Chain A
Amino acid sequence: MTLLGDRQQLSYIASQAADARVNLELETEGMTLNIGPQHPATHGTLRIIARLDGEQVVWVDPSCGYMHRGYEKLTEVRTYPQVTALVNRIDWLGSFANEVPFILAAEKLMGIEAPLRAQHIRTILFELSRIANVSLFLGDLGVQLGAITPVFMAFRDREYVLNLIEGATGGRFHPNFDRIGGLKDDLPAGWIDETRTVMKKLRRFCDEIEDLLFGNEIFQSRTRGIGVIPRDIALQYGMSGANLRASGVDWDLRRDQSLPMAWDKVDWKVWTHPDGDSFARCWVRLQEVRESTRIVEQLVDTIPAGPVMTKVPRIIKVPEGEAWVCTENPLGEMGYYVVSQGDLGPFRVKIRSASFNNMSITPWLLKGVYVPDIVTILASLYFILGDIDR
């Protein structure tokens, strides 16, 4: 499967085999290692219980639920416009992107569509939240490997994007800006010029990170050939987003399904990587930030004139029916299965979050790896605890 095929991977396998032999000869006893619930590599409160044999993991059990907030139950007692305030908090680094699929599902059930201008601005804000989210990942990646500098650069440059989101929506982290039928407001004056400047800064940040981190020999030896996920395993675990594309699956929900959004109106590329290892996952994300800046730059040039809100009743009642809408969020596929029975609020909402599926592979993936690799593999899978626990 993997195309690495070089000395690096062979030496890794050989060292694993050597360790196994030593363990057999010495009859070392196993040990249980507890990581978390508070650990820099867990992006929240995730506890990982690992059973070790020497330096190798033989069995691992990620224990989630420390942050379970029961959003699926809470949506049942809220009206449709109120639900966006909840789902904002699922993946808190890319909040706006969480609102979009839910709003699209409600609009699908009501049979309305947002005006073109609102669709464009939605897409811009969606990509901005992806940039804010993934740029923090790129910085945080260094921390997991002991490099402190990239995270400061990431926080510095993410701030520009957060300022943009704040300028347009009023909220840095939880915009709650999407409405059924459009957006709360139009863009403020001068925002588009500012966006162009920031996108240039972000591309420079990507170049910096690529030089500093991806070209680093330590980074490469810690990530190349480690945590390999083959294509078919990734599919049957329901991995999505950059994790799936890093395993060589050319599938991006922004391109491969038709949604009332503006991705099909601009020129951009879906990046994949054939290796499926930690390095590939990080590399695909880096390219995605670059593509996102390109998408935003093209979209701000072509925002159509017109209103940002379509005509919706003052009290929103959604007709009876069921709808499934998913989008390619910063962490992967995020979808909502909304069941409506013609009431003010949804009857049932199944929230399909990306990190839950992405994490469910860890018992398989971490088997046999070395203890220090646990942290780099978890970092490269990139999960947000709010997205696992919902």
Chain B
Amino acid sequence: MVNPPNEEEFQLSLTTDTPAATDVVRDGILARVQAALGDKIVESLVKPGDDIWVRVRTESWRETAVILRNLGFSYFDFLSAIDWLPSPFGRGEDDPTEPAPVRDNTIRHGYTGGDTRIQMLARVVDPTTSMGINLKADVPDDNAHVESWTTVYAGANWHEREAWEMFGITFDGHPDLRHIYLPIDFEGFPLRKDFPLLARIVKPWPGIVDVEPMPGGDQDEPAQDGDAQ
């Protein structure tokens, strides 16, 4: 453990200067993508110096991939999903002897918003400029299915198999939708937030009772839950 630094010494290392308000390169890429995709885009976001996010309509998920690949985004990075429902089990650190705490279960979507609980998340990159786009699309709540990307990017095959078994999203047109990691008779979709992490439920997390003072740390101040510095 490093001794706590004094404030003046460390001002230099912090990124105190505000990032550039505009990013010409990424704005240019987004303009090109917007022109190509047209009204398929629901919402888009550029964080200057960081990344691009684009949310497209569910029904044009596959078409988006075709258009972007033809625009030069030929490198398939990954494909997955996000379940935006806050976990009903918290972080699995509830004391089993106490009554279960009341949790706020309103869905808060991330960048570019959303209307459904589960969203697709994928990333494609242009290998010549090394600029990528994070793509999102809503997955219908009642019947979770989107079009498959396998005919556009061959590498999507395994990623879609993984998303299918982990989130229960069906990919229309996928040639070989079967389990990749889990046993064939596995029930449930583990990465959905309402799937309990049983190891944390049958045995309380020992971190709850972590009161050992940190070596070399401030002895007066008791270590707190979630503090691993």
- The interface bits of chain A over 225-238 (1 if a CB of B lies within 8 angstroms of the residue's CB, else 0) are 00000001101111
Tell me whether A337 and B121 are in contact in the complex, defined as CB-CB below 8 angstroms, given that A68-B182, A251-B130, A348-B83 are known contacts: yes
Of the candidates B13, B15, B123, B179, which one forms a contact with A324 in the assembled complex, judged by CB atoms under 8 Å apart?
A: B123
Known: A70-B190, A341-B108. A236 touches B197 (CB 8 A): no
Listed stretches A14-22, A109-117, A133-141; interface member: A109-117
A116 to B15, CA, bound (A): 12
Which residues of A (308-355) have their CB < 8 Å from a CB of B?
308-312, 314-316, 320-324, 326, 333, 335, 337, 339, 341, 343-345, 348, 350, 352
B83 touches A77 (CB 8 A): no
B90 nearest in chain A by CB position: A77
For A232, list chain B residues within 8 Å (CB). Answer: 74
- Is B5 in contact with chain A by the CB < 8 A criterion? yes
Instruction: Indicate if B200 sits at the interface (CB-CB under 8 A).
Output: yes
CB distance from B56 to the nearest CB of A (A): 17
Which A residues are in CB contact (< 8 Å) with B132?
A: 324
Contacts of A82 in B (CB 8 A): 228
Question: Quick check: B155 and A361 within 8 Å, CB to CB?
Answer: yes
Q: How far is the CB of B196 from chain A (nearest CB, A)?
A: 10
One of B130, B166, B182, B227 near A253 (C-beta < 8 A): B130
Given contacts A77-B200, A249-B127, contact A360 B155 (CB under 8 A): yes
Q: CA A235 – CA B130 in complex, angstroms? A: 12
Chain A contributes a number of interface residues (CB within 8 A of B) equal to 71
Residues of A within 8 A of B12 (CB): 115
Q: Does the CB pair B75–A184 fall under 8 Å?
A: no
> Complex: how many Å from CA A47 to CA B192?
28
Query: Which of chain A's residues have a CB closer than 8 A to the CB of B197?
Result: 73-74, 76-77
Q: Which of B14, B87, B108, B166 contacts A310 (CB 8 A)?
A: B14
A321 to B45, CA, bound (A): 12
CA gap between A189 and B215 in the complex, in Å: 22
CA distance A79 to B228 in the complex (A): 8
A238 touches B13 (CB 8 A): no
> Once bound together, how far apart are the Cα atoms of A120 and B62, in whole Å?
42
Find out whether the CB atom of A236 lies under 8 angstroms from the CB atom of B191.
no
Known contacts A79-B228, A237-B155; is-contact A339 B130 (Cβ 8 Å): no
**Of all chain B residues, which has the CB nearest A312?**
B229
CA distance A285 to B47 in the complex (A): 35
A359 to B130, CA, bound (A): 22
Q: Mark B1-45, 1 if CB is under 8 A from A, else 0.
A: 110010101101111000000000000000000000000000000
Known contacts being A238-B77, A350-B78, is A307 close to B111, with CB within 8 Å? Answer: no
A65 on interface, CB distance cutoff 8 Å: yes
The answer to whether the Cβ of A224 comes within 8 Å of any Cβ in the partner chain is: no
Which residues of the other chain, B, contact A155 by a CB distance below 8 angstroms? none
At the interface, yes or no: A389 with Cβ under 8 Å from chain B?
Answer: yes
Tell me whether B147 is interfacial, beta carbon within 8 Å. no
- In the assembled complex, B154 has its CB within 8 A of some CB on chain A: yes
CB-CB < 8 A to A357: which residues of B?
A: 76, 78, 155, 158
Tell me the chain B residues, 84-114 only, with Cβ under 8 Å from chain A.
86-87, 91-93, 108, 110-111
Contact bitstring A172-201, B, C-beta under 8 A = 1, else 0: 000000010010111000000000000000
Closest-CB distance, B118 to chain A (whole angstroms):
11
Chain A residues near B87 (CB-CB < 8 A): 76
Query: Is the CB of B157 closer than 8 A to any CB of chain A?
Result: yes
| Chain A positions within 8 Å of B1 at CB level | 184
CB of B137 within 8 Å of the partner chain? no
Q: Which of A310, A333, A356 contacts B10 (CB 8 A)?
A: A310
Which of these, A114, A115, A323, A350, contacts B121 with CB under 8 Å?
Answer: A350
Say yes or no: is B54 at the interface (Cβ < 8 Å to chain A): no
User: Residue on A with the closest CB to B6?
Assistant: A311
B5 touches A77 (CB 8 A): no
Distance (Å) between the CB of A292 and the closest chain B CB? 21
Chain B residues closer than 8 Å to A65, beta-carbon distance: 179-182
Given the contacts A235-B74, A339-B110, A113 and B14 also touching, CB distance less than 8 Å: yes
Assuming A81-B228, A337-B121, is B15 touching A352 (CB within 8 A)?
no
- The yes or no answer to B51 lying at the interface (CB within 8 A) is yes
Q: Complex formed: what's the CA distance from A326 to B51 in Å? A: 12
Q: Is B134 an interface residue (CB 8 A)?
A: yes
Binding site for B on A (CB under 8 A): 64-65, 68, 70, 72-74, 76-79, 81-82, 108, 111-116, 179, 182, 184-186, 232-233, 235-239, 249, 251, 253, 256-257, 306-312, 314-316, 320-324, 326, 333, 335, 337, 339, 341, 343-345, 348, 350, 352, 356-357, 359-361, 364, 389
CB-CB nearest 3 A-B residue pairs: A65-B181, A237-B155, A81-B228
Q: Can you list 26 A-B contacts with CB-CB less than 8 angstroms, sorted by A residue number?
A: A73-B191, A76-B91, A111-B15, A112-B15, A179-B229, A236-B74, A237-B76, A253-B130, A256-B130, A257-B130, A307-B5, A311-B10, A311-B13, A314-B224, A314-B229, A322-B111, A323-B50, A326-B77, A341-B86, A345-B91, A350-B82, A352-B123, A356-B159, A357-B158, A360-B157, A361-B155
